[in-house]
Chain A
Amino acid sequence: MSAIITLDNVYRAYRMGNERIMAVNGISMEIYEGEICCLQGPSGSGKSTLLHLMAGLEKPSKGSITIGKTRIDLLNENQLALFRQKHVGFIFQNYYLIPTLTALENVAMPLTFCGVPRKKRMKKAKELLEGVGLKDRMKHKPSEMSGGQQQRVSIARAFANNPKVVFADEPTGNLDTATTFEMMNLMTEMAKTWNQTMVIVTHDTEISGYASRIIKIRDGKIEKIENGRDFNDEKINAQKNLV
């Protein structure tokens, strides 16, 4: 398997008052193409920071991060924006939908920034929403939807521009167990269908069942890397039945 994301000795320091905190303290690792990788760790372990660094939302204090063939730590903000537009999708714990736009418009938003004509992007957004099972919720505003429905919209949005990598930051943190499995099934299925790489940050051990690899983080360092059950169909089916 070839690496799609490569981190080489990455550090990220924060200044809190007079104290200097190493959120990411010398991490080197690879994420492989098409895998579903889970970053696990207690809160404050630096797993979220690591995700933000990989996604180019933050710059490392030291070290290099490569996605595909691009050194994203060297890109300026505009180049990063373009890079995100083309290659990266995001799913957040708080969904981060734009409250004034409908589900359909929210999903079409990344395509708007790419300059896709209105008709085309609306068609694509419709397909995606149908794919996440929100066929009859397209004209609803986020405030008119449940948490699970909002997260579905945000998943659809993350896949809108066919990204190479989808980053998910505690995607199920605000959802109940049943919905959690629902979401995870949806995400992994979509990623599998489009052969996309997924990096999920979570402290939820249930989710690890979906991952091909689990990277445990503690105090800004990699504690250990576990191989996941690599799509244990049995287990997934069992969870599906649960739902």
Chain B
Amino acid sequence: MSVLPRRRNGEIPATDGVVIRMAGIRKVYDTGKVKVEALRGIDLVVHRGEFVAVVGPSGSGKSTLMNLVGCLDTPTEGGLADARNRRVGFVFQSFNLLPQITAFENVEMPLLFGGVGKRERQARVTELMDRVGLADRMEHRPTELSGGQMQRVAIARALAMNPDVVLADEPTGNLDTSSGGDIMGLFEELWRQGRTLVVITHDMALARRAGRIVEVRDGLILRDEPTGSVATLREARASHG
């Protein structure tokens, strides 16, 4: 994959470059009567090639965090469409596939918005569908797919424009344990291939499979530490040589 960042000597590219840098971020939801402080000063740096799991109870502010990172929740300005298209790929809890078009067309959509030519779109979508293991489901509509399959389509869609980072908000929230595990496995695989991933989840068991866990509580980062997965990954990559 020529489009992926280059690796030096099989090292973890943890310092390759900063993908996300947040310093003292605050977000206040003003409902008129009550002001809710969703984020009260967040400092977060994510480097290229990292796999970060953001955990925390409901209402802790982790979704707000992701929406801010993904430019989904800032005052809409002209330049954001490009950022959403090229910088970030989104995976949602509720998949958010367009129901009236096929899986293929769903994955193709960001490429259309990005102005990619027809032949390249064709090749790219086919490759991505193959990578998420749904090469034989390309012409199916989302309603004809299982939850796990729909989320795989959504992941393929998130990868379509080769974004700097893939943001996933509770990607396993609507899935059973087994499908959820599969999706997490797919994320691990993407990580091994050099992708930068930020995944929000409730499930600590899944979070431990990421390289780094950021725990958010009451709008603040409570804990930010690497997991054992990094060592495992390093070994895996070293053994691949």
State yes or no: do A and B come from one complex. Answer: no
The interface of chain B, by Cβ under 8 A from chain A, is none
The interface of chain A, by Cβ under 8 A from chain B, is none
